[in-house]
Amino acid sequence: MAPGKDDSSKAASELQYAPATLGIHGDDPLNSSTDVAPPMHVSTTFRYSHNPDELVPGEDEEASATLLQGLRCPLTFHQLTGFEPHVYSRLSAPNTSRLERILSRLCHGQALTYSSGLSSFHAMCVLLRPKVVAIYEGYHGCHGVLGILERLYGVKKVDLRDESAWDAAGLGKGDMVHVETPLNPTGEAYNLAEFAEKAHKRGAYLTVDATFGPPGLQDPFEWGADVVMHSGTKYVGGHSDMLCGVLVVRRKDWFQQLYTDRIFLGSVMGSFEGWLGVRSLRTLELRVQRQSKNTEALVSWLDGLMRAGSGEEGAAVAVSDDAIVVKELVARLQHASLQKKDMGWLKKQMPNGFGPVFTIWMRDRETAKRLPSKLKLFHHATSLGGAESLIEWRRMSDRTVDDRVMRLSIGVEDFQDLKSDLLNGMRELAKELRLGGKAQARL
């Protein structure tokens, strides 16, 4: 179908497709050529029509709604959504529009992309202009952005768990209750319906960083979110090769404001990232379900070994050699799948899996520092969400986190191979530590 001719009955029926189908067909209406794989567009500027009668200088009603700080943004709503010709790539560009269209379908709102997850968090704060933000620890970079806003405008931060602190700081109309779920780095999930109620009764907005629970795993709008954000660098990209941020809103006025703001903030993704993003979304559902399943199986296996011999449900019956090694090295595990008492709401909010990131608390700093060197299939690197498994001694990139924390981002490899790699690595580490201990004792 040629661009500019959105078949709205088709667009409406698309809404009924499952995420696996939308990842592949969500951008069909923007197919402007016969290519099956989307062409890569590198141009920053696009020719206007050669026909003077088709030159519309953007003076219609919708365009005037996008006036910002005295600057005229000559775009109609249809241009914003990729159905009319592009003008300049800081405004919109073909590959990015395709990515945004698929994301809009998958996330059940209007999606805009940004140059990184943090630039999308910043854009969200520019849109909502909160005076107070309730937030949990989570990803440290978002706190960095709030630090800048505090310096510029005195924005206050309060602890998400402490409602009395919200009220003491005057959290109310137009402020932000920001929930990252599942949380970085632990992989623990939070009850969005509960936070929506607490935010909305004060006139505040619920903003959700859903990076760890991408489309297919959770839909924050269903539980009361006003704005949903993602670091698209993670599962949207999915191959550790692009930076991307995503904001999704349902209010048309917010979408237009975000779009206009992005023109002047200049925080757009490059066209190559737009192209990579579409390539990646084709397999989003497959990757994420597999990664999430692998993760749950690994967590359950490790948890069973840690509780071996306890007689508790899910615990290994006998205390095997493997269990001895795991008990020796691991102090604690964290992942939403272990939140047994929360399963009532959690299974509703994350019906297809609890996300592909979990945390192992090693027994001490030294053990944590050494584990990655014993693994063959896990890269020791920061970030997450790629097809390949990563492990990170979290202290390398976040000094606010306990120095025993290992963050694992599970990829699409075979579960048995990942399990063997972790077990062999832990065996080797335990042996090394025991030998080291004996040598110490001899001194």
Ligand X SMILES: Cc1ncc(COP(=O)(O)O)c(C=O)c1O
**Candidate ranges 114-122, 156-164, 274-282, 403-411; the one touching ligand X (CB under 6 A):** 114-122
Shortest CB 245 distance to ligand X, Å: 6
Residue 78 one-letter amino acid: H
Q: Are 333 and 405 in contact (CB under 8 A)?
A: no
Q: Are 210 and 181 in contact (CB under 8 A)?
A: yes
Q: Within 13 Å and on the Cβ side, how many CA atoms surround 297? A: 18
If binding is defined by CB under 6 A, does position 209 make contact with ligand X? yes
Q: Between 305 and 324, how does the x/- string for binding to ligand X read (CB under 6 A)? A: --------------------
Of 136 and 415, which CB lies nearer to ligand X in the complex structure?
A: 136
Q: Which of 116, 218, 334, 367 touches ligand X by CB under 6 A?
A: 116
Judged by beta carbon, residue 26 or residue 117, the one nearer ligand X is 117
Q: Are 75 and 58 in contact (CB under 8 A)?
A: yes
Sign of the Cα torsion 252, 253, 259, 262 reads negative
Q: Classify each residue of 204-224 as buried b or exposed e, where b means 16 or more C-beta atoms within 10 Å of its C-beta.
A: bbbbbbbbbbbbbbbbbbebb
Alpha helices in 27-93 (DSSP H): 61-64, 77-80
Contacts of 182 (CB under 8 A, 6+ apart): 188, 189, 190, 212, 213, 336, 354, 355, 357
Residue 120 C-beta: closest distance to ligand X, Å: 8
In the shown chain, the binding pattern of residues 137 to 166 toward ligand X, with x for contact by CB under 6 A and - for none, equals: --x-xx------------------------
321-329 and 284-306 are packed helices; what angle lies between their axes, rounded to 10 degrees? 100
216 lies in the site for ligand X, by CB under 6 A: no
SS3 category, 258: helix
> Pick from 243, 284, 308, 390: which binds ligand X (CB under 6 A)?
243
Q: How many residues form the binding site for ligand X (CB under 6 A)?
A: 14
Min dist CB 8 to ligand X, Å, is: 33
> Is residue 124 within the footprint of ligand X (CB under 6 A)?
no
Of 38 and 355, the one with the shorter C-beta distance to ligand X is: 355
Distance in Å, CB of 121 to ligand X, minimum: 6
Candidates 113-121, 166-174, 297-305, 413-421; binding stretch for ligand X (CB under 6 A): 113-121
Q: Does 100 engage in binding with ligand X (CB under 6 A)?
A: no
> CB of residue 117 vs ligand X: minimum separation in angstroms?
2
Residue nearest to ligand X (CB): 117
String marking each residue 244-273 x if it binds ligand X according to CB under 6 A: -x----------------------------
Cβ burial, residue 92 (10 Å; 0-12/13-18/19+): buried
Least distance to ligand X, CB of residue 180, Å: 5
Contact status: 186 vs ligand X (CB under 6 A)? no
Token pair of 190 as six digits:
């939070």
Pairing of strands 357-362, 405-409: antiparallel
Distance of CA 130 to the CA centre of its chain: 22
- DSSP, collapsed to helix, strand or coil, labels residue 74 as coil
- Shortest distance (Å) from residue 160 CB to ligand X: 14
Burial class of 50 by CB neighbour count within 10 A (0 to 12, 13 to 18, 19+): exposed
Residue 6 C-beta: closest distance to ligand X, Å: 30
- Record the tokens describing residue 177, joined without a space: 């209750």
Dist. CA 429–CA 52, nearest whole Å: 73
Interface stretch with ligand X, choices 18-26, 83-91, 134-142, 198-206 (CB under 6 A): 134-142
Q: Is 117 in the site for ligand X (CB under 6 A)?
A: yes
Q: Is 172 one of the binding residues for ligand X (CB under 6 A)? A: no
Give the Cα separation of 217 and 350 in Å (integer).
Answer: 5
| Per CB under 6 A, 231 contacts ligand X | yes
Q: Does residue 180 interact with ligand X by CB under 6 A?
A: yes
Q: How far is the CB of 370 from ligand X (least distance, A)?
A: 24
**According to the binding rule CB under 6 A, does residue 118 interact with ligand X?**
yes
Closer to ligand X at the Cβ: 116 or 186?
Answer: 116
Task: Summarize as ranges the residues that interact with ligand X (CB under 6 A).
Answer: 116-118, 139, 141-142, 180, 184, 209, 211, 231, 233, 243, 245
